Amino acid sequence: MNRTSRLAAISLSAALLTAGLAASAPALASQTCGGTGSVTTVNGTLKDGATWEIQCPAGTWNGTLFLYSHGYVVPGTNNPAQDVGDPVTGAWMLGHGFALAGSSYATTGWAIQQALPDQIGTLDVFGSTYGAPAHTVAWGHSLGGIITAGLIQRYPGRFSAALPMCGVLSGGVATWNTALDAAFAFQQLVDPSIQVVNITNPGANLTAAETAAAAAQQTPQGRARLALSAALADTPGWFTPLSPEPAPTDFAAQEANQFLWGSQVDYPFAFALRAELEFRAGGNPSWNIGVNYSTELSKSPNLDEVVALYKAAGLSLSKDLQTLNNAPRISPDPTAVAYLEHNISFNGDIKVPVLTMHTTGDGLVVPENEQAYRSVVREEQNGALLQEIFVHRAGHCAFTPAETITAVRALVNRLSTGAWDFQGLQPGSLNNRAAALGPSFNIFVVNGKIVPAPPMFVSFSPAPYPRPFDLGDPVP
């Protein structure tokens, strides 16, 4: 598999079971969405070149539209319009009277600048074609999760509710600052030749980082330092969906899984795809001025692992942390920070019900993102509108259709009743409702094969996000 294909395979879109903008296509006569005897699919193109897709149910439309935001698409790979994360969930949604819509966005990569207006343009197309929905729900996976949260923040009057799944809910500035911390530790302790900002040759930089990581993984000292780098991003020690989670003290297995997260998923973003963001932003939007890496490590759920591996390797953890704290700091470019604040960071001012869903073993968009979003929402006294649910599984966006449909039902119930069903949001109730959907929905794809997978909702409280940032925070 070539590098472009591999990057595409691990991109933030990660829908594991499937893998002023007006339409430039001819306007359609206003009609009722649905009720034609079969599912109808309509496609078109917005003025900026983004494509859109709308699907109407075969039976009567129930008046609710779900506007789907897809995840990260690696530049140079296919970028079709998407209106749902996986076809099994999509078939259920259409079969239960929901309409679906979504766009491709006009660009790939960190495409939030284009995604937000393109999604609104798609919503405008739907309204001019079928009439205004009674309810419009924003939903999406991964980068689509941050876009979902961005839509309800920037266009609050257009949405009734939101379902960000495995979303980058810490916001753009916090996400790339946290990635910088892990990359900075890698650079200082594993390979000083690696570029962590202002990346000039992304492909070569990534190859060098992967080569250095593979060599480090062969020695106890290297594994300890890779674990420290992973801990600064709170990377979980659990990689393969449907596998058992390593025991709390199985530090060797945890580090081996973190190496897989790094080499197969995270390093391409940290050491190569950051360059795409820097090009968009006009410079480096990240910094580590004022960061005390001893303090950051002390907050990580991986602290015990790092301490144990350093001891086993005969290394001084305090000396390596001192090396990090004494290293020259990285300053941001103000215009680049402003770009990433706008595309997008959060202010907590939500006005509609929001239900988020995350796996506990997500090493690309760590579950601590949920804590960051909850914190800023609560600061604005909007906590009653937000509920979070978690799935005990490794993997990024590693949900079954049953789990996704169960989350949809919980949010739709909140819309119809005006109140959260707190008992229904308990893990036991969620698991019972997901299981009741039957074996056709409690499935997962492993090595290209569909296998049974029971629902795994769980009570979970994520640790504090490593480097939080919201629109009220200062920039150095």
For residues 154 and 217, membership in a common domain is answered with: no
Residue 472 lies in a domain: no
Domain co-membership, 300 together with 234: yes
Statement to judge: residues 274 and 423 lie in one domain: no
In the prediction, which pLDDT does 435 show? 98
Q: Which two tokens stand for residue 92?
A: 């259920």
Specify burial of residue 96 (Cβ count, 10 A radius: 0-12, 13-18, 19+). middle
112 residue type, one letter? I
pLDDT digits (tens, 9 = 90+) for 57-90: 999 999 999 999 999 999 999 999 999 999 999 9
Q: Which pLDDT score is estimated for 11?
A: 42
- The total of structural domains in the chain comes to 2
Q: 441, 465, 476, 473: which is closest to 455 by C-alpha?
A: 441
Of the residues 270, 304, 339, the one at which a domain ends = 339
**% the chain with pLDDT above 90:** 91
Of 313, 339, 365, the last residue of a domain is 339
Pair 177, 159 in one domain? no
Q: Which residues of the chain have pLDDT under 50?
A: 1-29
Q: Please tell me whether residue 66 adopts helix, strand or coil conformation.
A: strand
471 inside domain: no
pLDDT in tens, 388-421: 999 999 999 999 999 999 999 999 999 999 999 9
- The mean predicted confidence, pLDDT, of the chain is 94
Identify the pLDDT of residue 454.
98
**Do 10 and 137 belong together in one domain?**
yes
- The answer to whether residue 467 sits within a structural domain is no
Residue 473 lies in a domain: no
Same domain, 305 and 197: yes
Rounded to 10°, the helix 317-326/303-313 angle is 110
Centroid of chain to Cα 265 = 13
Do residues 317 and 307 lie in contact, with contact meaning Cβ atoms separated by under 8 Å? yes
The residue segments making up the domain with residue 295 are 173-339
In the 8-state DSSP scheme, what is residue 60?
B
Q: Report the SS3 class of residue 398.
A: coil
Look up residue 36 and give its two tokens. Answer: 């034609």
Residue type, position 261, single letter: W
For tokens 């025991």, name the residue. Answer: 247
Minimal CA–CA distance to 62: which of 22, 104, 8, 99?
Answer: 99
Q: Closest by alpha carbon to 172, among 111, 259, 226, 95?
A: 111
What confidence score (pLDDT) does residue 158 get? 98
**The tokens of 344 are what?**
């997008």
Q: How far apart are CA 167 and CA 151, in angstroms?
A: 13
Whether 23 and 146 share a structural domain: yes
Question: Comparing C-alpha atoms, which of 11, 19, 85 is closest to residue 401?
Answer: 85
State the pairing for strand pair 99-103/354-361: unpaired
Which of 339, 359, 383 is the last residue before a domain boundary?
339
Give residue 32's pLDDT: 86
The answer on 206 and 191 residing in a single domain is yes
- Asked if residue 99 is part of any domain, the answer here is yes
> Is 423:44 a contact under the CB 8 Å cutoff?
no
Residue 282 has what pLDDT? Answer: 98
DSSP helix/strand/coil, 168: coil
Q: How many Cα atoms within 13 Å fall on the side-chain side of residue 59?
A: 9
With H, G, I as helix, E, B as strand and everything else as coil, classify residue 147: helix
In a domain, 463, yes or no: no
The CATH number of residue 373's host domain is 3.40.50.1820
pLDDT digits (tens, 9 = 90+) for 158-181: 999 999 999 999 999 999 999 999
Q: Residue by residue, what is the 3-state secondary structure of 214-268?
A: HHHCCCHHHHHHHHHHHHCCCCCCCCCCCCCCCCCCCHHHHHHHHHHHHHHHHHH
Task: Name the 3-class secondary structure at 23.
Answer: strand
pLDDT of residue 224: 98
Quote the CA–CA distance of 9 and 71 in Å, as a whole number.
12
Judge if 81 and 220 occupy the same domain: no
Co-location of 142 and 226 in the same domain: no
Residues 429 and 304 in one domain: no
Q: Is the distance from CB of 46 to CB of 103 less than 8 angstroms?
A: yes
Q: Would residue 465 count as lying in a domain?
A: no
428 occurs within a structural domain: yes
Q: Are residues 376 and 419 in the same domain?
A: yes
